Structure formats: structure tokens, C-alpha cells
Structure 1
Amino acid sequence: MRAKEFRQLVTTLAREGAPVEPRCPHANECGGCAFQDRTYADQVAAKASALSRVFAAAGIPLPTGPQVSVVPSPDPFSYRTRMDYVATKGRFGLRARGKFNFIIELQTCHLIPPSAFAVAHKLWLTAQILGLPDYNVRSHVGFLRYIVVRRSPNERLLLAAVTAAGAYDEAMEQLAATALAQPQVASFYWLLNDSLTDLSFGQPLRHWGQELLTMGSTPGQLLIGPNTFFQNNIHLLDQLCAAVLAATTASGKPVRVADLYGGVGTLALHLAPHVGMVDCVEAVAESAALAERNGAAAGITNFRAIAQDVLPFLREQSPAAYPVVVADPPRTGLGPEVCAELLRLGPQRIIYVSCNPLTQCEDLHVLAAAYRLTALTGYDMFPHTPHVETLAILERHV
């Protein structure tokens, strides 16, 4: 099964559920939501069924029977910590479902609080008044590509304008002033993406207001920037962190833990007070630097932020160096080489968080040479979409 087929499976199963009146009038055409017009309980059931089918088809025995459970989001709306709104051809919104070049013009959006969307929309309207031309994704002419919203649990916002190159310094100053005049806005960034690649990330040219956005976490506070990764469900993250902690300490206090693909330290810093030492390994230098800064700000001394690719880091370690390994890789998964290194190192437990159950299944097949799956749980980090997060617990059996 390919990723597209999995998404289609979830969508088909969800659409078999009971219809409801969607909050958004564009719910049946906007790419931000796939099935907002179905009950949330049916959405969660569809994801549980799809996961069960995928793992069964992959021949991976489930420890609790044929059905995977999926933890629902406490609120299926206003859950996202990041939204990227497109500005093109005089429209502001999200791409139409299945139509990359067509933008659904939005007046509100329920994936973030409507008040946060209103700030982003006001920023785009101001850009229009200031003469900042939208970017045309077909002709590659224009300036303003995206308005990005990053949002903290206490509803503070970091906004970013992603642009092509252009001599609009004075107008961008005025746009920043408009952004910071909104009471919930802490930061405004100007990010440059002058390539032909359609990305909502870019090189920071300037920022106004606070340098970073503070995200609630335990312990202390996590700082993120405009380009750094952070889990996108503001309501469900604490439950996922708690589950990772419970699995990490299930057999007592481990002496050392490796947190692979650790980002800004979200999981590692949550684990640190309960383990001997935790190494947070992150290839993106900006995120690794923030992880180190976050650890220092929290006063945590049994924590190391290591700016290195995961594979060479693992190759430098001795067998049994880590009793527990936590991994939260990108959608491509761990891959055969990282799995081979984990088999060589032989941690007693591997705690594997995945945003792609298909690549996770591939990795579990490789790791089955020495590990058995003892728990598998889904987390609905992206309500109204076909995406689902999974948490797999592996125990060494040889």
C-alpha cells in the first residue's frame, strides 16, 4: 500500500459514517479538511480500522488483538499549532482538494482559533493595501507567497510572511507594525523563499517583536522559531508525551535514553526528570540549538542536545549504550540503515512515534529480528484529515 492509498482508505471508511453539518462552508472542497462533514467518532473509528488493516496486511501481529485503538483529540477543532495560508491571484486561503493551483478563499478557518485566522487574514488584506503583490505559483511572478501562523497553548502568535525576492522593505516594515499591533501577536518574521519550490519555510531576513515563541511544556517552557518542527495538535500533545514517559520508565528509571530526531527537545525534556541521562539527537542545527537553549532555560542538567544526523551518531555508539531509545522520525521512517544500527546496539526497549504507519511497518519488519511489538496505539493528531500518528512499543526478545 502506498501513502495515497492509505489516505484514500481512511477517507472512504470515514465517509461511511454519519453525516453532520460542517462548521466550514468549504469543508467539501478545501484541502485543509477531508471529512469535516462526518461525525468525529466515525472519523476516529475509520482511522482505527485503517490502521488495523494496514498492520494485518503487513503481517505484523498486534499485541492486543485485531483492532488498533486510536486516542481522539480532546477537541477536533482549533487544534493546530501551525497553519500555512497561501496568498496567490488575489486569494487567501488553502489549496482545493486535489487541485494544487486552485485556492479556496477563506473568511475563517476552524483548524486554528477563528481569532488567530482573523489576524492572518487582516495581515494579508493589509499587504494588498500596501501593494505587496501575491505570488503566482504558475508564472513564478510576484512577492507574497504565504502567511504562516504559529500558535502557543496560551494563544500567543508568531506570524511569518514568506516571500520571493523583492525591494519592499518599507512596506514590510508597515506590515510588521500591523501584525504587532494585534494584542495576541508576539513575533513577526520575514522569510525569504526565492526558489521555484513551493515551500512555506524560508531564510529569515528580519524579525520584529520577540525572537521566539514560547510553547507550554513540562517541565519549563519550549521555545520555537518560524521554521522549527513542533507537534501540531495542541490538545493531544500532553497525552502523547505522557504515554512515551510511561513506556520509558515501565521497567524503572533507565540510566541513559537516546531521543532520536528530537527536534527542540519536546520529548527529551519531558523525560529528563525521570531518567538518568537523555541525549537529544537532531540533524537540523536550528532545532538542536533550540533544544540546548530549552534545556538550559529549564535548568535541566542531565540532558544533551546533539546536532548530528541520527545514522552517524548511532554508528559511534557502543552496544548496550542505551537501555531505551525513543524515535520520532519524519515520514520516511527510520530506514534500513538506522534499523540495522538499532539491532546492533540492542536497547532493551524502542519507543517509536510515527506519522506514517506504512514506513513504520517496514521498519518493524526489520526490527522483528530482535524485537517484538508489545503495544500499538494511534493518536488522532490531525482531526478531519486522513493522517494519524502511531506509538509503537518494542521489547527486545533475543
Structure 2
Amino acid sequence: MVTTFTAKTLRKAVMARTLTGQMVVPRCPHARECGGCAFQDRSYTDQVTAKTDVLRELYATGGIAVDEFIVIPSPNPFAYRTRMDYVATKGRFGLRARGKFNYIIELTTCHLIPPTAFAAARAVWQRAGELGIADYDIRTHTGFLRYIVVRRNAMDELLLAAVTAAGGDEETMTELATTALAQAGVVGFHWLINDTLTDVSFGEPRRHWGAATLAMRIGEMTCFIGPNTFFQNNVYLADRLIGDAVAAANPNPTMRVADLYGGVGAIGLHLARRAAVVDCVEAVAESATLAQHNAVVNGITNFNPICADTLAYLQAQPSGSLPLIVADPPRTGLGPQVCKELLRIGAQRIVYVSCNPLTQVSDLRLLQAAYRVTDLRGYDMFPHTPHVETIAVLERSG
């Protein structure tokens, strides 16, 4: 029994229970050492069972009582990801070793995206070497090419990006773009600059070739995303997750709804079809701009993209002004200040989508001062890893 959960103990608990399951032959020869997967050598059924057991215990330990907790499996545990960030460093192309941040597992295949998508990314990296574009060394902070990023939709169309340090020759990068656009499925190629010491696979746009965005069909909507924008990372389960969140919210045509941390509008646009008006609150300007574009593309006129910090937005709302709130925060969760404002505003219902059950439990403890959790379930958006997405539905108690 785990009584104190942290990110480390949660991962260990899932791993320990997965290890008691049935061993299988992993598809990838690097599955036991690569940081992209942790459980590929365990049956997928056992992975889902382990996550269900550990998360049921996590919520119970946190005082979150529900009648039943389930984790909905991914329809396909392979080739599921809509985004992959491959590291380019010291003549290697791949992913970081598990527990060894500075060591890269060189990959010639990867089963988290379709083979054509991996081949396209690797071909771009190989061409970069032929053009004399040096890999980046995270230890010495020298070199140029840091990441090749793959964005992929359900039709296996691809938007690729090269994340680099500052500088670079635009003519050479144009040659690299030509190679990228020649790969199967590639509709666009971006050049992003990350001129910081921070090792992240995002950057300031320098230039793009081909399509600027990638169309992601989700439920009733088509949402366009860019190389930096967030989108749910399981091409097979995203429809189910977003559909369940919208169904749980269940707005009516008289309601004003707040979609917090709304991204490019994947949830908010669906809510707008059923509500009077939806405020889609998003702090990242690029995502807020795309949310506006997506509203126009889908013919939604009662959708109000607001580029603002969630806390600042909530502080400006009168008590009782929002009968329904949907929130999908980053891994840091809502936090005490946002929870305080949610308690003050007093929506009748809150639908809380989370990519981090640990921070969600902390937030739910605070919100239980005025709310009861009526439904809670998990979604295995990241097979072969300890990660899981959840939806909690909260109803006002008084």
C-alpha cells in the first residue's frame, strides 16, 4: 500500500505492479532502456490494470471518494502519438535513455508513431548531416540542430519542425526543407529557434515551408495546430476524451461557459455548439490565435478566444457569473489561487481534465470545500508509460 504519493512514487508504484504481469516480447529492441517507453515488455492489459489499481489508491488516499474508477485503454497501444520530439546530438538521433538525461538511445525505428512518420523525421536528420548542419551538444552548448519534431494527424499527414540554436544559413535550411517536403505525408516544415540553455523542443518561429499548420479532425470539428501548440497526444483516444468531457459538461443554450487553458479550442468549440457563449481562455498567444482561426473555419460565432492568464481572467469574473467551467491545465494543475477563485465564482459544475493525477488530487481536496466529485475516470493516452489522463466531474454541494 502506497500512502504518500509523489511523481517518483507514483511511477514506481505503476512499474512495480506492471512487473507482476505477463511479459511479452517488445517491438522495439531498445524498449527496456529508452525513455520513450517503460512497459513495452509487459502485456497491454496488465499495464491498464496496474494504472487502474494505483490511481484508485491514489484518489482514495487523497480523500476523493468515487463509486467506481476505471482507466479506458487506448484502442491501439502502438503508433498512437500525435507528437514526438527526437533529439539530435553528437551524431545520434533518438530519445533520451531512461534515467540518463545526457545519454541518447539512437533509434532506427520507433513504434510510438507510424513507420513512415519516423522515417521522414530520420531522413531530415540524415540530410542535415550531409549539409554540414551540426548536432547540438547539451553538455557544451555547441552545435546547431537540437530536435526534429513530428506532428501527425489521424490521416498520417505530418508537420515537421527543426528546432535549432540561433544563427544558421537560410539557404541551407531551405535545402533541408526541400528534403522534408519530399517525405511521404509531410505537408509543412518549420524552422524554430531555441537560443537558450534550456533543453526544450519548442522555439520562436523563424520560417516555414509548405503548410503553416496541420489539420486535426476531432469530433465534430477540425482544429488547426502549429509546431508549438498543445494537442492531445493519442490519435486513437482523443475523440473519446474530448467527447466525454463535453458530455460531462452538458451545457444548455442559455449558459455562458468558461473553457480554461483552452488551447486551440478543441473542447471549447464543441461546447459552443451547445451553449450560449464560450470564453476560451489561453495564455499562449499562438494557441489563442489558432483558436480564433478554428472558430471561423468551423463556423462557430459564439466563441470568444481570450489570450490571458487563467487566474487573471477568473479574478475579473463576478461571483455566480459562470454556471459551467471546463479546465484542462498543464501538469502543474490549477493550484491554490485558481481553486480559490473557482470556489468564489461558484459554478454549478466543473469538469476538470488532467494530465497529472497528483496535482489533480491536490486541487480536488481544495475544491471539495464546496463541491463533490460525481464522476472520475482515467484515459490511457500514453501506453507503455506511467502517464495517464483523467476527467473529474464536480457538482456544487450547496
Please indicate, yes or no, whether the TM-score normalized by the shorter chain is above 0.5: yes
**Partner residue of 2:43 out of 12, 26, 39:** 39
For 1:92, the aligned partner's letter is F
CA distance in 1, matches of 2:397, 2:230: 34
The residue matched to 2:191 in structure 1 has which SS? Answer: strand
Q: How does 1:220-231 map to 2 (within 5 A)?
A: 220-231=221-232
Match of 2:339 in 1: 339
Deviations along 1:1-44, one digit per CA (max 9) or x if unpaired, are 21121111111111111001111111001000001000000000
Tell me whether 1:320 sits opposite 2:320 in the alignment: yes
Match of 1:348 in 2: 348
Change (3 A) 1:220 1:378: closer
Moved more, 21-30 or 180-189: 180-189
**Partner residue of 1:48 out of 48, 52, 69:** 52
How far apart are 1:220 and its partner, in Å? Answer: 3.3
Deviations along 1:111-158, one digit per CA (max 9) or x if unpaired, are 000110001011111111111111111011101110000001111111
Match of 1:258 in 2: 258
Tell me whether 1:170 sits opposite 2:171 in the alignment: yes
How far apart are 1:288 and its partner, in Å? Answer: 0.6
Tell me whether 1:150 sits opposite 2:138 in the alignment: no
For 1:383, the aligned partner's letter is P
The residue matched to 1:375 in structure 2 has which SS? Answer: strand
How far apart are 1:166 and its partner, in Å? Answer: 3.1
- Tell me if the contact between 1:91 and 1:105 (Cα under 8 Å) persists in the aligned partners: yes
Match of 2:13 in 1: 9
Q: How many pairs does the alignment contain?
A: 394
CA distance in 2, matches of 1:109, 1:35: 14
How far apart are 1:253 and its partner, in Å? Answer: 4.8
For 1:26, the aligned partner's letter is H
Unaligned runs of at least 5 residues, structure 2: none
For 1:47, the aligned partner's letter is K
Match of 1:28 in 2: 32
Once superposed, what is the RMSD of the aligned Cα atoms? Answer: 1.1
- Tell me if the contact between 2:193 and 2:204 (Cα under 8 Å) persists in the aligned partners: yes
Tell me whether 1:371 sits opposite 2:371 in the alignment: yes
CA distance in 1, matches of 2:320, 2:193: 44
Change (3 A) 1:8 1:296: same
Deviations along 1:165-200, one digit per CA (max 9) or x if unpaired, are 233322211100001112411110111111111010
Match of 1:58 in 2: 62
Match of 1:271 in 2: 271
Match of 1:90 in 2: 91
CA distance in 1, matches of 2:58, 2:253: 34
- Tell me if the contact between 1:132 and 1:168 (Cα under 8 Å) persists in the aligned partners: no
- Tell me if the contact between 2:145 and 2:164 (Cα under 8 Å) persists in the aligned partners: yes
Deviations along 1:75-106, one digit per CA (max 9) or x if unpaired, are 11111000000011111000111011111110
For 2:111, the aligned partner's letter is H
- Tell me if the contact between 2:133 and 2:145 (Cα under 8 Å) persists in the aligned partners: yes
How far apart are 1:272 and its partner, in Å? Answer: 1.4
Tell me whether 1:200 sits opposite 2:201 in the alignment: yes
How far apart are 1:254 and its partner, in Å? Answer: 5.4
Tell me whether 1:302 sits opposite 2:306 in the alignment: no
Deviations along 1:327-352, one digit per CA (max 9) or x if unpaired, are 00011111111111111111110000
How far apart are 1:263 and its partner, in Å? Answer: 0.3
CA distance in 2, matches of 1:265, 1:309: 16
CA distance in 2, matches of 1:362, 1:271: 27
For 1:49, the aligned partner's letter is D
- Tell me if the contact between 2:221 and 2:266 (Cα under 8 Å) persists in the aligned partners: no
Deviations along 1:217-266, one digit per CA (max 9) or x if unpaired, are 2333111111111110110011011111211117x555111100000001
For 1:372, the aligned partner's letter is R
The residue matched to 1:120 in structure 2 has which SS? Answer: helix
CA distance in 1, matches of 2:285, 2:193: 19
Give the structure-1-normalised TM-score.
0.97
Match of 1:111 in 2: 112
CA distance in 2, matches of 1:167, 1:151: 26
Identity %, equivalent residues: 61
The residue matched to 2:119 in structure 1 has which SS? Answer: helix
